[in-house]
Structure 1
Amino acid sequence: MLRLFRRNRQEERQATEQAVKPSRDRWFGRIVGLLRSPRLDDAVWDEIEEILISSDVGVETSLRIIEQLRERVKAGQLDSPDAVTDALKQALTQDLSGDFEGLLPSDDGASKPYVILMVGVNGVGKTTSIGKLAHHFSESGKRVVIGAADTFRAAAAEQLEILGERVGVDVIRHAAGADPGAVAYDAYQASKARGADVLIIDTAGRLHTKSNLMEELRKIHRVLNRQDTSAPHEVILTLDATTGHNGLVQAKSFNEAVNCTGIFLAKLDGTARGGIVLAIRQELQVPILFIGTGEGMGDMAPFDAEDFVDALLAPV
């Protein structure tokens, strides 16, 4: 069973609002103004559609949402600017919502450690996201261990050790070039021996070929599964929000290889194309669990579809 850990709901809303500010200022805030036009004619709908597409929502999703709204306005179901705006919010929220309950091991006697496998290509912010997750769980009183199973990238383990010291968690590592599966095994055993609640395993983002990379991930997955048949309990894919649709092809490869259960969307505060959140959810059908809202260890928030949409469509 999972439950959602929130430090402070108001703080989470504020962090989300700050992260989407570039997107709201450049794109989505304009939609609110357009929906208050005295007449919602074809020109207005076309402009709203263009804004959605330009913000990386995606063509298919944008066309579908606009067509639904136009039909409801034409049928007289939406008779005021506020009603149309609320309908748009509902449509976007519905696209982003799922049956996700939240990510945190509960205290109901479930087996420990709760194993999280982090995957993603190099450069997307995976290492920093691991540090943020470790900090996030530590704040809730959970004991965390990090396994440095990216043994192929130079200085990957060293970076994790630095983050581990900052956050106050143990990091299990081997020498550079060691077998990643062996690191995962030792990290699990160390977590078990130390009574850790959460084990976060880092993985390589690039090997010689894509097939090599995916086979290594499958191997780590099998090693963890032998220790606990329910592990890994989560496979979180880290995506860089600033890469937009370019990151979706890579994301699909990871999802096919290890069946990702959630997404950590890093660097959301660094892009004005926040519509990529909808494209990711629709393309991958994987829930977004966390968003990166800044550079500090505490700069992240559990993803909340309603808060996200409200922040996007707040008046500028």
Structure 2
Amino acid sequence: MFGFPKKSPLPQETPAATVSDVSEAAAAASWRLRLKTGLARTRAQFGGKLKSLFSRGKVDDQLLEDLEALLLTNDVGLDATQHLLYQLKMRARRDRLGTPEAIQQALSDIMFDLLRPLEEALDVTTHRPFVIMIAGVNGAGKTTSIGKLAKHFQAQGRSVLLAAGDTFRAAAREQLQTWGERNNVTVISQQSGDSAAVIFDAIAAARARGIDIVLADTAGRLPTQLHLMDEIAKVRRVIQKADPSGPHETLLVLDATFGQNALQQVMAFDKAIKVSGLVLTKLDGTAKGGVVAAIARQCPKPVRFIGVGEGIDDLRPFHARDFVDALFE
């Protein structure tokens, strides 16, 4: 008796959630690789030398002295260095660390504990429009960071408007216009006038158009330029006139190549405009990534984003574990 051939089962569709999970996992793995590559200089200065220090397999006075010198030369700062050394000494005594691997893992865990409080995601859902004021010294990468942030928020399905508040530098306005065109985002600007007026108009425009997020650029300035620090404090006050609850986030953009000087910038800008979060740029161009530890000890502010490249996707939220792993691996 002849039978009909059995039909092959039809391929089942992969659930959308599974595809999404795979895509997110791939993106996360790609970012970790870029982060590791971006921190190569810091790791070469820091992580590479740790292995030779720990090769003796014991935490003694000589190791602590050598480690202190290494941490200080990598811009970890005196306060954070002393904290890390004390914690390592206590952990070595408690856990009887006796191998190079155990000592390095202990230091990695202590560094993670130090940096973890800085990992705090930015919640832009509390207000609409959510006004983000962006400040920093000349050349820190403010305008470029704004363009990347616009792309980041758009990827989350949010509408964005840019305020060209750097009215001192004509090129800054043009640069922001270029980012606006690239991301299909409206840019509010004026040929002349002051920064506060431009940002005031931008907030009004965002409210009228139902925009989710306003990214407000400001002119670069040094903390030692007291009249300019007074001016940026005025910008903040004008934002509060446009929206009494704003600015909802005040981001300070820091150039990682400045090392310990970045810490002084945090303190000075915080005094003037109440910094609520940090963007750390150019980590791929320096061996001074250890400054994050100094910030964590002396002027802890959430590190909202870090940048490790020139690409539009090279600015991502800060994750302490990924950062520490990229330093030690």
Q: Which residue of 2 aligns with 1:89?
A: 108
Whether the 8 Å contact between 2:57 and 2:103 is mirrored in structure 1 is no
Q: Which residue of 2 aligns with 1:235?
A: 250
Q: Max radius of gyration: which structure?
A: 2
Moved more, 206-215 or 267-276: 206-215
**Partner residue of 2:194 out of 167, 179, 185:** 179
For residue 199 of structure 1, report the CA deviation from its aligned partner.
0.4
Whether the 8 Å contact between 1:120 and 1:251 is mirrored in structure 2 is no
Q: Which secondary structure does the structure 1 equivalent of 2:250 belong to?
A: strand
For residue 94 of structure 1, report the CA deviation from its aligned partner.
1.7
Q: Give the count of matched residue pairs.
A: 306
- What are the superposed Cα offsets for residues 20-61 of structure 1, whole Å, 9 maximum, x if unpaired? 111112222321343242444333332222211111101222
Q: Which residue of 2 aligns with 1:166?
A: 182
For residue 286 of structure 1, report the CA deviation from its aligned partner.
0.9
For residue 279 of structure 1, report the CA deviation from its aligned partner.
1.3
Are residues 274 and 162 of structure 1, via their aligned partners in 2, closer, same or farther at CA, if it must alter by over 3 Å? Answer: same
Question: Is 1:35 aligned with 2:54?
Answer: yes
For residue 148 of structure 1, report the CA deviation from its aligned partner.
0.6
Which has the bigger relative contact order, CA under 8 A and spacing at least 6?
1
For residue 66 of structure 1, report the CA deviation from its aligned partner.
1.4
For residue 300 of structure 1, report the CA deviation from its aligned partner.
1.3
Give unpaired runs (5+ residues) of structure 2: 1-23
Q: Which secondary structure does the structure 2 equivalent of 1:265 belong to?
A: strand
Within 5 Å, give how 1:28-107 maps onto structure 2: 28-98=47-117, 100-106=119-125
**Could you list the runs of 4 or more consecutive aligned residues of structure 1 that deviate by over 4 angstroms after TM superposition?**
none
Identical columns (%): 42
Q: Which secondary structure does the structure 2 equivalent of 1:285 belong to?
A: coil
Question: Is 1:275 aligned with 2:290?
Answer: yes
Whether the 8 Å contact between 1:124 and 1:266 is mirrored in structure 2 is yes
Residue identity opposite 1:119 in structure 2: A
CA distance in 2, matches of 1:30, 1:238: 30
Residue identity opposite 2:184 in structure 1: G
Moved more, 201-210 or 47-56: 201-210
Q: Which residue of 1 aligns with 2:6?
A: none
CA RMSD of aligned residues (A): 2.3
CA distance in 2, matches of 1:229, 1:262: 19
Within 5 Å, give how 1:172-251 maps onto structure 2: 172-176=188-192, 178-206=193-221, 210-251=225-266
Whether the 8 Å contact between 2:47 and 2:327 is mirrored in structure 1 is yes
For residue 119 of structure 1, report the CA deviation from its aligned partner.
0.5
For residue 117 of structure 1, report the CA deviation from its aligned partner.
0.3
Give unpaired runs (5+ residues) of structure 1: none
Are residues 99 and 310 of structure 1, via their aligned partners in 2, closer, same or farther at CA, if it must alter by over 3 Å? Answer: closer
Whether the 8 Å contact between 2:79 and 2:294 is mirrored in structure 1 is no
Whether the 8 Å contact between 1:6 and 1:302 is mirrored in structure 2 is no
- What are the superposed Cα offsets for residues 280-308 of structure 1, whole Å, 9 maximum, x if unpaired? 22222111111111012111121111110
CA distance in 2, matches of 1:76, 1:183: 58
Within 5 Å, give how 1:107-186 maps onto structure 2: 110-176=126-192, 178-186=193-201
Moved more, 61-70 or 165-174: 61-70
Whether the 8 Å contact between 1:180 and 1:216 is mirrored in structure 2 is no
Moved more, 56-65 or 76-85: 76-85
